[in-house]
């Protein structure tokens, strides 16, 4: 694993924020040019490994950023006050800060590795058509995933979709909707490749893909991602179709899904969202209202751990009593998407359809979440579209806590003004600024 990671890092280390690429030299591995010209299956599989690794890179920062802005957590770092300054909306957003350039670059490193695999597959003679289709399905799925995470941060600032040619970069999308449409199209392509990839892949995957490591089962993962993107597009009919084609199981384990996996061995990485309880100084804390707003007895409050004494968020002004405890050890896997989210996606699509029958069906799904995840009584509120949207967003708030959704959910429903503000000088950020490296660059 360490040698493969070094090879992938050699490819992506020279990929700048403006997506420029020079040919690297790695004395222990084939040249970059060699990968693009009649690559072997071994070389292609190293790229697959690299794509999986890139999909885990920077996930701690990504989730912390959306969690802080979405008022789920406080991220405290004694060496960097911007976590509780800039990101809590004090008017000091910096387009050269870690939360802009670093995360943007990390996501596009993943895009570049996926594009490399796509080009390599298209320029090799060692694959059957079905094998090639499998590689393309995998590469385009994770290219779309990387672009989605970049767009979630940038939103109406847009992102670049076309970065295949570093000398002719595509323009930024004009808004979030254009970006989500392009990502949806890319996932459509991935699903088409998976449907024509035969019965098995020519590459292996980590244990995080157990149950999703054949073309047919991997396609259900693609459909799950398509359902998520369709929600962002406000295409609720397509979301309903995609989610039914995914691995949704309304009576199954909520945690079935596709995962990033971690290890603490040399050359591997640990889950950056884990901090021991009662850590002071640099740590992750639960935003106060997440606990106080919950229904009494909600079992999902186990994702917060009461501290022995409150921690300081802002000296003399803001304190937190609970540690973030959704991640309980260094090697706990992190979901790309899991069954609990799919049930909530289906409920949302039904609510948006709006008929009496679909609202009644949505209540059944909400009760699956309320009773099994939350240990709460069945829903007893009004069975109207408005009331059920409120209830659905509440269930997403607690079921998907600290998984990167709250900020996005409240933004797509134009409810950012409903997120809690701890201090009078705080505000809620709508999108992060375009990285300074991209301002005034070709297409930017």
**Minimal CA–CA distance to 227: which of 348, 119, 57?**
348
Residue stretches of the chain with pLDDT short of 70: 1-34, 440-444
Here the tokens at position 258 are 């596709």
Asked if the structure places residue 240 within a domain, the reply is no
Looking at the structure, do residues 44 and 149 belong to the same domain, yes or no? yes
Asked if the structure places residue 395 within a domain, the reply is no
Asked if the structure places residue 188 within a domain, the reply is yes
Looking at the structure, do residues 23 and 128 belong to the same domain, yes or no? yes
Residue 338 near residue 248, CB atoms below 8 Å: no
Residue burial 284-305, b: 16+ Cβ < 10 Å; e: rest: bbbbbebbeebeeebebbebbb
What pLDDT score was predicted for residue 443? 67
Asked if the structure places residue 78 within a domain, the reply is yes
Give tens-digit pLDDT for 141-194: 999 999 999 999 999 999 999 999 988 999 999 999 999 999 999 999 999 999
- Tell me if residue 401 falls in helix, strand or coil: coil
Asked if the structure places residue 389 within a domain, the reply is no
What pLDDT score was predicted for residue 266? 84
Residue 18 near residue 105, CB atoms below 8 Å: no
Helices (H) and strands (E) in the chain, counts: 14, 6
Looking at the structure, do residues 5 and 109 belong to the same domain, yes or no? yes
Asked whether the CA dihedral 400, 289, 301, 316 is positive or negative, the reply is positive
Looking at the structure, do residues 23 and 138 belong to the same domain, yes or no? yes
* H-type alpha helices, 272-355: 288-292, 339-353
The DSSP output letter for 22 is -
Looking at the structure, do residues 43 and 156 belong to the same domain, yes or no? yes
Looking at the structure, do residues 188 and 312 belong to the same domain, yes or no? no
From residue 87, alpha-carbon distances to 81, 102, 289 in Å are 10, 15, 17
Looking at the structure, do residues 20 and 141 belong to the same domain, yes or no? yes
Asked if the structure places residue 313 within a domain, the reply is yes
d(CA 30, CA 7): 9
Residue 206 has φ and ψ, to the nearest 5°, of: -70, 170
**Minimal CA–CA distance to 356: which of 388, 334, 378, 379?**
388
Question: Is 0.85 topped by the overall pTM?
Answer: yes
Neighbours of 81 (CB within 10 A): 11
Looking at the structure, do residues 24 and 119 belong to the same domain, yes or no? yes
Residue burial 9-28, b: 16+ Cβ < 10 Å; e: rest: bbbbeebebbbebeebeeee
Looking at the structure, do residues 290 and 155 belong to the same domain, yes or no? no
d(CA 34, CA 23): 11
Residue 59 is part of which domain span? 1-161+182-197
Looking at the structure, do residues 288 and 157 belong to the same domain, yes or no? no
Domain count, the chain: 2
Give tens-digit pLDDT for 63-110: 999 999 999 999 999 999 999 999 999 988 999 999 998 889 999 999
Looking at the structure, do residues 186 and 316 belong to the same domain, yes or no? no
Asked if the structure places residue 41 within a domain, the reply is yes
Looking at the structure, do residues 190 and 313 belong to the same domain, yes or no? no
Asked if the structure places residue 417 within a domain, the reply is no
């Amino acid at each position: 694993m360490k040698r493969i990671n070094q090879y992938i890092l050699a490819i992506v280390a020279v990929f700048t924020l403006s997506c420029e690429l020079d040919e690297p030299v790695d004395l222990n591995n084939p040249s970059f040019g060699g990968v693009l010209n009649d690559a072997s299956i071994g070389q292609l599989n190293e790229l697959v490994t690299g794509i999986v690794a890139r999909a885990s890179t920077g996930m701690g920062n990504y989730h912390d950023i959306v969690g802080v802005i979405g008022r789920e957590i406080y991220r405290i770092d004694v060496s960097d006050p911007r976590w509780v300054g800039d990101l809590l909306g004090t008017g000091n957003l910096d387009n050269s800060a870690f939360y802009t350039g670093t995360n943007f670059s990390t996501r596009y490193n993943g895009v570049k590795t996926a594009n490399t695999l796509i080009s390599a597959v298209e320029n090799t003679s060692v694959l059957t058509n079905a094998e090639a289709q499998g590689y393309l399905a995998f590469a385009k799925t994770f290219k779309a995933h990387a672009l989605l995470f970049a767009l979630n941060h940038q939103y109406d600032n847009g992102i670049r979709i076309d970065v295949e040619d570093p000398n002719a970069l595509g323009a930024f999308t004009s808004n979030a909707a254009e970006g989500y449409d392009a990502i949806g199209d890319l996932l459509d392509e991935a699903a088409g490749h998976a449907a024509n990839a035969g019965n098995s892949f020519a590459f292996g995957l980590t244990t995080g893909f157990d149950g999703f490591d054949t073309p047919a089962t991997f396609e259900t993962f693609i459909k799950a991602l398509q359902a998520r993107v369709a929600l962002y597009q406000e295409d609720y009919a397509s979301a309903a179709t995609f989610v039914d084609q995914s691995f949704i199981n309304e009576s199954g384990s909520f945690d079935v899904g596709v995962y990033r996996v971690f290890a603490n061995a040399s050359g591997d990485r640990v889950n950056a969202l884990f901090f021991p309880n009662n850590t002071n100084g640099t740590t992750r804390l639960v935003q106060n209202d997440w606990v106080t707003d919950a229904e009494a007895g909600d079992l999902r409050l186990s994702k917060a751990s009461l501290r022995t004494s409150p921690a300081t968020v802002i000296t003399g002004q803001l304190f937190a009593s609970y540690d973030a405890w959704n991640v309980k050890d260094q090697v706990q896997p992190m979901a790309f998407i899991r069954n609990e989210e799919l049930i909530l996606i289906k409920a949302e699509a039904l609510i948006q359809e709006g008929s009496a029958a679909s609202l009644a069906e949505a209540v059944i799904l909400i009760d699956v979440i309320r009773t099994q995840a939350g240990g709460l009584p069945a829903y007893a509120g009004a069975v109207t579209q408005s009331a059920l949207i409120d209830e659905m967003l509440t269930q997403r708030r607690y079921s998907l806590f600290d998984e990167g959704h709250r900020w996005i959910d409240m933004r797509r429903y134009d409810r950012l003004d409903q997120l809690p503000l701890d201090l009078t000088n705080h505000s809620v950020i709508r999108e992060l600024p375009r990285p300074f490296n991209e301002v005034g660059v070709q297409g930017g």
